[in-house]
Chains A and B, each alone.
Chain A
Amino acid sequence: MEKTWNNKAWFLVLPVLLLVAFSAAIPLMTVVNYSVQDTFGNNAFFWAGTDWFDDILHSARFWEALQRNLLFSFIILAIEIPLGIFIALNMPKKGIGVPVCLVLMALPLLIPWNVVGTIWQVFGRVDIGLLGHTLAALGIDYNYVRDPLDAWITVVVMDVWHWTSLVVLLCYAGLVSIPDAYYQAAKIDGASRWSVFRYIQLPKMKRVLLIAVLLRFMDSFMIYTEPFVVTGGGPGNSTTFLSIDLVKTAVGQFDLGPAAAMSIVYFLIILLLSWIFYTVMTSSDADN
C-alpha cells in the first residue's frame, strides 16, 4: 500500500509545539542558560561551565536538604497510603453518608497551600493556637518554633490532614468499581475479612494506588509552601527542604547561577525517582 505524505499535517501540530515551547521548553532552557553562567545583573553574563554543579554536589547544605526531602516523602507515603486505604474501606457505599463523606473528604483539597500553612501556623501557636495552647495546658512541651522534632511533627500532620483525602478518594473510586458478585462469591467461599481485602479489594485498587503513590510522592518531594509559612525552614535548618533552600538561594541571596543549577539537579532527581517508582510498581503488571 502506498502511503500518502502530506507535510501540511505539521501545521496542525504547530500550535501545540508553540504552547509547549513557551510553557516548558523555553523556561527550562533559560534555567539551563543561568546554570552554566555567572551574572551580576545588567544582562552581563560570564561563562561558568560546570562550576555551579560542582559546588552544589559538594555542598553539605544540599545533601542535608535532599535527605530531609527523602525522609519527609517516606514518612508521608508511609502514613497517608495505609491511612487513606483504611478510611476508604470504612466509608459508606450507599445512602446519604456517601455524599456527606465525599464532601468532607474533598474539603481539605480545596484549600490553597498557603492558607493551610497559615491555619496550622496559628493552630499550633503556644500562646493563642487551639492545639498549641491545649497541649501546653496539658503539660506537653510542644513548640514548633523552637523544637525541630515538633516542627517536623507539625509539618507532617499538616500534610496528612491536607492530602490523605486524595488517597481516600482515589481508593474509594477503585473500591466502588468492584462488582457485588465478588463480595458475594467471597462470602460463599467463606473468605475472611482479611482475605477479601487481600485478594479482592487490594488487587482492584492497585491501579489507583499506583497513581496515588506517584502523585503523593512527587507532591511531597516538591513540598514548599506549608513549611515555608509555618516554620520558614526552621528551627535552624531542620525543615529546610530543597525547594525552600532553592528559593533562599535564588530570591534571598540572588545567586541565580547556583539556584539554576540546583533547580536542574532537583528536577532530575524527581524525574529519576518518579521513573523508578513507576517502573517498579508497573513491573508486576508486566509479569502477567
Chain B
Amino acid sequence: MARITLDHIRHAYGPNPKSDAAYALREVDHEWADGGAYALLGPSGCGKTTLLNIISGLLQPSHGRILFDGKDVTNLSTQERNIAQVFQFPVIYDTMTVYDNLAFPLRNRGIAEPDVDRRVREMLEIIDLSDWSNRKAQRLTADQKQKISLGRGLVRNDVNAILFDEPLTVIDPHMKWVLRSQLKRFHKQFGFTMVYVTHDQTEALTFADKVVVMYDGEIVQIGTPAELFERPSHTFVGYFIGSPGMNVIPAEIHGSTIKLGAETIALDYAPKIDAGGRIELGIRPEFIRLGREGMPVTVTRIEDIGRRRIVRASLGGQSLAIVVSEDAEVPAEPRVTFDPVALNIYANSWRVGREA
C-alpha cells in the first residue's frame, strides 16, 4: 500500500503540444494518502482515464513525476510499479479455470506453488467463488468475471494500489449494489489505496472518502461528498454533483450586497473580488424556499420525481430549479428566498470563499 504523489503531471497525446487545449491533462499536482479511497469523477473526455493510466504506468506523462511512497516510479513499467487494475470490461483468461486465473499473476512472479495454492484458496473464499474454482472462466456471468479481475489484483497482497476504471459499467443494476458494498468491505478489510474512475456521481459519492472532480483536463476539486455538495469550488462541480445541479445565476457584488437584476441580497461578509471578473451566484435547489415572501418568480413547470418535486421557475429571466417536498403547495404569486448559509459566490467560475 502506498501514498501516491502526482508531481506536476501534464499529458498530451500528440507530440509537441502548442497550447493548453492540446493537453488531455493540463496540470495535476496532488498527494493521495496511503489507504485512501479516491473516486475520480468527471464527464467523458475529462482526462480521468488518462490520469489513471499514468498512475498504473500504461501511459508515460509528457511532463511531471509520479511517486509511490516518495519513490519516483515515473519510468518504471506497470509490472515494476506493482499495482492492480480492474477494467471497464471484465478481463479474464477464457481458456483457464477460475483457479488458474487467480493463480496466474502469482505464478508469473515465480511464487512457490504451495503459497500460490494457499493464497488462491483464500481469495476464492473472499470473492465467494470457491464452488467455481475448477470451472472454465469463460462461462461465468459479468459480475463473476469482474470479481475474478478484482481477485487477480487482490491475490497479490503486496500491491501498492488498486485502480478501477469504471468497473461496474457492464454489471446489472441490482448486482452493482452488491459489488459496490463488497468493494467497500474489501477496502476496510485490506486497507489498500484505491483509485476509482467513474462518471456516475452516486457511485463516486457512496464509494469514496475523497472525490476528485475532474473537468477539461484539470482537477477542479478534491473533497468529501459533503464538501462537494455544500461548497463546490467551481461552478462545474456545482452543476455536475447533485440532481438537479446547482443554480448558477449571473450577479453583481457591491461590498457585501449581491445584486440579482432588480433584486438585492445582503451578505454578512464582503467577498474579495477583483474588478472585471464574471460574477455568479450559486445556490443549490435544496436551499431555496418557495413561499409568499422574497423575490417574485414565475413557475414554468413542475416535475414530480417521487418523494419530492422540482419546480422550474424563472427569476428575472434566469431559470431556477427549486426542490420542494411532495405535498408543498405552490402559491398563486410565488416568491423565493435563498438560505444565506448555502450561498456561494463565483468569480470566473471559481468560488470566492468567505475566508479569502
A-B interaction: yes
Q: Which of A140-148, A182-190, A209-217 contacts B (4 or more CB under 8 A)?
A: A182-190
Residues of chain B contacted by A199 (CB below 8 angstroms): 93, 95-96, 104
B96 near A188: Cβ-Cβ < 8 Å: no
Q: B91 is contacted by which of A185, A190, A288 (Cβ under 8 Å)?
A: A185
B105 proximity list for chain A (CB < 8 A): 188-190
Give the distance in Å from the alpha carbon of A182 to the alpha carbon of B90 in the complex: 9
A189, A190, A200 pick with most chain B CB within 10 angstroms: A189
Chain B residues lying within 8 Å of A192, measured Cβ to Cβ, are 108
> Which one of A179, A195, A200 lies within 8 Å of B89 (CB-CB)?
A179
* Most B CB within 10 A of own CB, among A181, A191, A192, A200: A181
> Complex: how many Å from CA A199 to CA B88?
20
A–B pairs, 16, beta carbons within 8 Å = A181-B87, A184-B58, A184-B78, A184-B85, A185-B85, A185-B149, A188-B78, A188-B85, A188-B153, A189-B105, A189-B108, A189-B152, A190-B105, A190-B108, A195-B104, A203-B95
List residues of chain A with CB within 8 A of the CB of B85.
184-185, 188
Using A189-B108, A192-B108, A195-B108 as known contacts, list a sample of 16 further A-B pairs with CB atoms less than 8 Å apart, ordered by residue number in A.
A181-B89, A184-B58, A184-B87, A185-B85, A185-B149, A187-B78, A188-B83, A189-B105, A190-B79, A190-B109, A191-B104, A199-B93, A200-B93, A203-B93, A203-B94, A288-B138
A-chain residues with CB within 8 Å of residue B84 when the two chains form the complex: 188
- Is the interface on chain B under 10, 10 to 19, 20 to 34, or 35 or more residues? 20 to 34
CA distance A189 to B83 in the complex (A): 9
Q: How far apart sit A179 and B152, CA to CA, in the bound complex (Å)?
A: 18
Partner of A187 from the list B58, B138, B139 (CB cut-off 8 Å) is: B58
> Which residues from B are CB-within-8-Å of A195?
104, 108
Q: Which chain B positions have C-beta within 8 A of A182?
A: 91
Inter-subunit contact B56/A188 (CB<8 Å): yes
Q: How far is the CB of B101 from chain A (nearest CB, A)?
A: 9
Number of interface residues of A (CB under 8 A): 16
Alpha-carbon gap, A199 to B136, bound state (A): 13
Residue B77 interfacial (CB < 8 Å): yes
| Chain B interface (Cβ < 8 Å from any Cβ of A) | 56, 58, 77-79, 83-85, 87-89, 91, 93-96, 104-105, 108-109, 136, 138-139, 149, 152-153
B140 to chain A, nearest CB (A): 11
Closest B residue to A185 using CB positions: B91
If A181-B89, A199-B96 touch, whether A187 touches B77 (CB-CB below 8 Å) is: yes
User: Which partner residue on chain B sits nearest A189 by CB separation?
Assistant: B105
**Interchain nearest-CB distance for A201 vs B (Å):** 11
CA distance A195 to B77 in the complex (A): 18
As a 0/1 sequence over residues 154 to 190 of chain A, the CB contacts with chain B under 8 angstroms (1 = contact) are 0000000000000000000000000101101101111
Distance of B119 from chain A, by nearest CB (Å): 14
Distance between Cα atoms of A288 and B152 in the complex (Å): 22
Which are the 9 A-B pairs with shortest beta-carbon distances? A190-B108, A185-B91, A189-B105, A181-B87, A187-B78, A199-B93, A203-B95, A190-B79, A203-B94
Binary CB contact string for chain A from 95 to 113 against chain B (1 if under 8 A, 0 otherwise): 0000000000000000000
CB distance from A286 to the nearest CB of B (A): 12
Rounded to whole angstroms, the CA-CA distance of A181 and B56 in the bound complex is 13
Give chain A nearest CB distance to B121 CB in angstroms: 19
Alpha-carbon distance between A32 and B26 when the two chains are bound, in angstroms = 77
Q: Which residues of B contact A181 (CB under 8 A)?
A: 87-89, 91
- A181 to B85 alpha-carbon distance, docked (Å): 10
CA distance A184 to B78 in the complex (A): 9
